[in-house]
Structure 1
Amino acid sequence: MKTKSSNSKKSVKFGGLTFLASTLFVLNAQSSFAAVQVFGNSNTLIPGTTGAVVGGHFNKIGGKYSLIFGEYNDVQGKESIATGLKNNVTGDNSIGYGNLNIVEGKYASAIGMNNSASGTYSNAYGADNSASAENSSAFGVNNHATDIGAQAIGSENYATANLASAIGSFNFAQAANSSAFGSSNNAFGRKSTAIGNHNEAYGNGSSAIGTENKASNDDATAIGGHNEAADEYSTAVGYFNKAQGQWSSALGSANSAIGFASSALGHSSSALGQQSTAVGYKSIATTDGSTAIGSESEATGESSLAIGNKSIAYGDESSAVGFKNEASGYHSTAFGHNNIANTNSTTAVGVDNKASGAQASALGYQNNASGLMSTALGGANIASGFASSAQGYSNSAEGQQSNAIGYQNTASGDYSTALGSESEATEEGALAAGNQAKSTVANGVALGSFSEADREVASADDVYMKESKEVKASIMGDLGAVSVGNATATRQIINLAAGTKDTDAVNIAQLKALSNKTDSRFEKMDQRINKLDKHTQAVAAEAMATASLVPSTTAGKGNLSLGVGTQYGETGYAIGVSYRTAKGGMTYNLIGAGNSQGRFGAGASVNFHW
């Protein structure tokens, strides 16, 4: 229905145009207009419009207490405002400012050109913006906020989910509570964030911040430039990093964290195994639980550790710490500078050491422990025998379970020991202790400087006792000789305790006591021998006296015979009685004898004749 002007007129300025203002009160059966003020021409009032103000031309108003200024505007919402050209405001308490704006939501506003605010409490400011959901906002040019609480600000941004925000240019925030700030960013996951330039946050709770970063799984984070956080809870920070394992982290530049809960920090480092760690320049941790820290370090064994420049831990549970160390055996350890522990359970600590025998240890400088369970400790030592030990400087323990301790000692025999300086124990069980001591026979012992043990096991013949069973066990040796000197240089053994067992050494005090006792015994023996000699001479004299007796030779006759004898001052005497039978067939003899030593004797005999 066209308005008609009353006789009361006045001119009003608006937007550089002069309008003829008039107040119109129209009442009829179908519509009524109360307190409507109209300025301009060809404006249309919808029946029931009250308290409205219209300024301009070709406007259409139907809302109560609404306001229009401009041309071709249409306001149907109550208490709403449209100013400009061809704005369409249908929501209550809404505002459309500018050109070609559409405001359909309650309490909404569209300001600028060709904007659309269709959601309750929505706002679209600028040009070609769309805020189509409750509490949504689109500010700038060609922005779109299409869900509750969404915000699109800048140029060609899309906030298409609940409480999503897209700010900048060409950004997409397409999931609930997602945010895309900057240029050409995509936030596709719920509560995801993409900030910067060409970032993509695909996972729920993910973040991509910087330039061309991608956080493609839930709670992933990519910050910096050209980073990728591909799995859940992964983090890539810096440039050209990749965190592809769940809970993995890649920080720095060109690092890769591939395994579960792995970490790669520095430049061009790789953590490939589960819970592995690679830190530094081109460090690599390839197996589960491995750690590589330092420039070009490698930890390739499970649960291995490589720390330092060019250190390598190949073996499972191995450790290489320092510069250019290698621990390639299972449970091996190499600490220091250029050490090698390349067999199971080996240890090399210090500088230029090598432990190549299983369970061997080389500690110090340029030591080599190649024997099984061998130990080389100090400098330039070699332990090549099984369970051998070389300690000090430039020692060699070559025999099985041999020991070389000190300076330039050699223990080449099995179970041998060389102690001191330049000593040699060359045979099985040999011991050389001192300066230039030598033990060159099995089980030989050389004690002291320049001592030589070169004598074999002693036998019974060696002490001129032949094979006497009574003395053999006490004098025959089972082992090599003990030497405390050599053929031209001897030494005393002092402060020696007294021996108590058959095989103990005796001291001078014991020899003196033995000498005193022996002298006394020999004196008594001499006395007894002298006495025995006299008795012997007396017996000889007595025998001669007895031999001089003459028996009876006449039948039926008897006789008495006396005899005497002497021998070396001793005297013997004898008396004899003899009787021959009448027929001469038998002779009876009775003899008594004595000597100068007071010894007496008697005898009887019977002779038969035929």
Structure 2
Amino acid sequence: MIKRCKKIIISGLCAAMFLCLPAFALATEAEVDTSNNQAIGEANTSAAGNDNIGISIGAEITGGSQNVAVGYSTQVINGSLNNAENYGALIIGGGTGNTAIGTNAQVINGTSLEAVGYGAAAGWGNNNTAIGNHAYAGGNVYDRPTPSDNNVAIGHYAEAYGGSSVAIGDHSIANEANTVSVGQPDYERRIMNVAPGYYDTDAVNMSQLRSLDSKVNRVGSIAIAMSGLAPLPYDPKDPTQYSAAYGTYNGTGAVALGVYHYTKPTVMYNMAVAMSDDRWEKSARFGVTWRTGGAKPKPLTPTTIKKTDEETIDSGVKIILADRVGAK
């Protein structure tokens, strides 16, 4: 028991001394340079700079500090606090806080970049994240040779390079600033299970849109019903009139009732109400109509008919009678 404890203590001391070395290389052709670097593996595994770690075949760190390269042919070239893991993962540039995980994943020129997945790439800007096979987030693409920041691409061949843009899903493209894309032209997607929007900047779901469509139909039917109300000409013996109408719009109906009242021949008041068939929408109106200028109308009474009028009427009656007699 005492011998076993001694072995454990000795092993611990050796490990502590080994880890405290300013730099070490373990395995065939492993190389280290400057201070506090660690190279573990073979075939040109190397670490240069300060506080760097290169693990596995061909893992390489050139310059910078506190970088980690893990995997076959992984590379970290310049920069600090960077991590490259898996076959062919590559980080290039003087940025910090970058991560490339996956076969041929690449992070190029920027800080706080993340590329995760086979062939995923993030670069030419800051705070870009690409997750998924061949996903890309950043700038310097197509007809935009400028850097782009704060982009996120998630999905197979998803691309986000508009600036503060997000692309979600297979082959989705976000190429405009401050946008979220779930597809591309001719490859659109639906967004399901969206709650009804509440604030002015919230998205609207189909239930809210259909509700608005129904409201428009009800309002349209009410407007048509209201337009069907109309008064008759002024009658001094009956100054009050009633009117009713029914209207329909896109299959939705409404009824309207109106009242018209003449206080004198040149002034008329009117009031009307309308309601949709389902009673969800209601409407009311009040108005007044008056006439100005021109001669005042005179009712046709025996006292207002002059002799010349009588002669004209009498002549007209004779002509009509003569025509009828001749026709016989």
Give your verdict on TM over 0.5: yes
- The answer to whether the 8 Å contact 2:41/2:56 transfers is yes
- The answer to whether the 8 Å contact 1:405/1:418 transfers is yes
What is the aligned counterpart of 2:183 among 325, 336, 340?
A: 325
- The answer to whether the 8 Å contact 1:447/1:482 transfers is no
- How much has 1:178 moved relative to structure 2? 1.4
Match of 2:214 in 1: 405
* Corresponding letter in the other structure for 2:217: A
What is the aligned counterpart of 1:296 among 157, 166, 170?
A: 157
1:442 and 1:227 map into 2 onto residues whose CA distance is 80
- The answer to whether the 8 Å contact 1:254/1:268 transfers is yes
* Corresponding letter in the other structure for 1:307: I
- How much has 1:299 moved relative to structure 2? 1.6
Q: Please state whether the residue corresponding to 2:41 is helix, strand or coil.
A: strand
What is the aligned counterpart of 1:418 among 217, 226, 235?
A: 217
Alignment of 1:349-360 (within 5 A): 349-350=191-192
Closer, same or farther: CA 451–319 of 1 in aligned 2, 3 Å: closer
Deviations 1:21-51 (CA, angstroms, capped at 9, x unpaired): xxxxxxxxxxxxxxxxxxxxxxxxxxxxxxx
- The answer to whether the 8 Å contact 2:226/2:274 transfers is no
Match of 1:194 in 2: 39
- How much has 1:288 moved relative to structure 2? 1.3
Which structure has the highest helix share of the two? 2
Q: Which runs of 5+ in 1 are unaligned?
A: 1-162, 166-175, 328-336, 340-347, 352-358, 365-376, 379-388, 393-402, 407-416, 420-429, 486-490, 494-498, 504-610
Aligned length: 226
Q: Which runs of 5+ in 2 are unaligned?
A: 1-16, 139-147, 194-199, 230-244, 288-328
Match of 2:28 in 1: 183
Match of 1:410 in 2: none
1:218 and 1:502 map into 2 onto residues whose CA distance is 81
1:238 and 1:442 map into 2 onto residues whose CA distance is 77
Over aligned residue pairs, what C-alpha RMSD do you find?
4.4
Q: Please state whether the residue corresponding to 2:164 is helix, strand or coil.
A: coil
Match of 2:8 in 1: none
2:40 and 2:122 map into 1 onto residues whose CA distance is 27
What is the aligned counterpart of 2:221 among 432, 435, 441?
A: 432
User: How many percent of aligned residue pairs carry the same amino acid?
Assistant: 20
1:463 and 1:309 map into 2 onto residues whose CA distance is 66
Which structure has the highest strand share of the two? 1
Deviations 1:59-104 (CA, angstroms, capped at 9, x unpaired): xxxxxxxxxxxxxxxxxxxxxxxxxxxxxxxxxxxxxxxxxxxxxx
Q: Please state whether the residue corresponding to 1:250 is helix, strand or coil.
A: strand
Q: Please state whether the residue corresponding to 1:253 is helix, strand or coil.
A: coil
- How much has 1:441 moved relative to structure 2? 5.2
2:82 and 2:26 map into 1 onto residues whose CA distance is 21
Greater Rg over alpha carbons, structure? 1
* Corresponding letter in the other structure for 1:222: A
1:442 and 1:271 map into 2 onto residues whose CA distance is 65
Closer, same or farther: CA 502–218 of 1 in aligned 2, 3 Å: closer
- How much has 1:196 moved relative to structure 2? 0.9
Q: Does 1:260 align with 2:111?
A: yes
1:447 and 1:484 map into 2 onto residues whose CA distance is 11
Closer, same or farther: CA 319–261 of 1 in aligned 2, 3 Å: same
2:170 and 2:274 map into 1 onto residues whose CA distance is 53
- The answer to whether the 8 Å contact 1:177/1:192 transfers is yes
What is the aligned counterpart of 2:58 among 212, 215, 218?
A: 212
- How much has 1:223 moved relative to structure 2? 0.7
Match of 1:269 in 2: 120
2:228 and 2:40 map into 1 onto residues whose CA distance is 83
- The answer to whether the 8 Å contact 1:446/1:482 transfers is no
1:164 and 1:464 map into 2 onto residues whose CA distance is 107
Match of 1:203 in 2: 49
In the superposition, the TM-score normalised over structure 1's length comes to 0.32
What is the aligned counterpart of 2:101 among 248, 251, 256?
A: 251
Closer, same or farther: CA 183–315 of 1 in aligned 2, 3 Å: same
Q: Please state whether the residue corresponding to 2:86 is helix, strand or coil.
A: strand
What is the aligned counterpart of 2:71 among 224, 227, 237?
A: 224
- The answer to whether the 8 Å contact 1:164/1:177 transfers is no
Match of 2:168 in 1: 307
* Corresponding letter in the other structure for 2:82: S
1:239 and 1:442 map into 2 onto residues whose CA distance is 78
2:107 and 2:192 map into 1 onto residues whose CA distance is 32
Alignment of 1:585-596 (within 5 A): none
